[in-house]
Amino acid sequence: MTTFIISFLIALLTIIISGRIIENGDMNAAGMYLIVFSIPALVLTGFNALIVRFSIKRLITKNQKIRLIIFPVLLTGIASLGGSQFNSGQFGFVASFSFVSISVVNIYWVIRLISK
């Protein structure tokens, strides 16, 4: 549950910051970005929390857990790369803010697993 809450809050913060940067400091537009993109943030962080919880509870070896936790980071990282025709507009924005939030939370879990 904490994985979901932390990654969702990071995603919301990233949406607001990105919206202000894209719209040259207009807070009304950043609020619109927050309203429109909070549902994809909720869905993506929910899936990530399920993957982390499954890997922590069900998998046996530490290597399997780390691989499954790193998978969403790699997937969103590849999706957020610029220069492709699939990265234009809304998809690129969703991929970039989800990459930030999922990376922070999943790297925390990998460090926590390695230190055990």
pLDDT tens sequence across 24-38: 888 888 888 889 989
> Which among 110, 83, 86, 81 is positioned nearest to 3, based on CA atoms?
110
What is the value of pTM for the model shown? 0.80
pLDDT at 86: 52
DSSP designation for 86 = G
Q: Please, are residues 55 and 3 in contact by the beta-carbon 8 Å criterion?
A: no
Give start and end residues of each alpha helix (H) in 1-116.
2-22, 27-58, 62-79, 90-115
pLDDT at 116: 74
The domain ranges of the chain are: 2-115
Q: Please, are residues 106 and 69 in contact by the beta-carbon 8 Å criterion?
A: yes
Residue-wise pLDDT tens digits, 45-103: 999 889 888 888 888 888 888 888 888 888 888 877 765 555 567 777 888 888 888 88
Cβ contacts of 1 within 8 Å, gap of 6 or more: 49
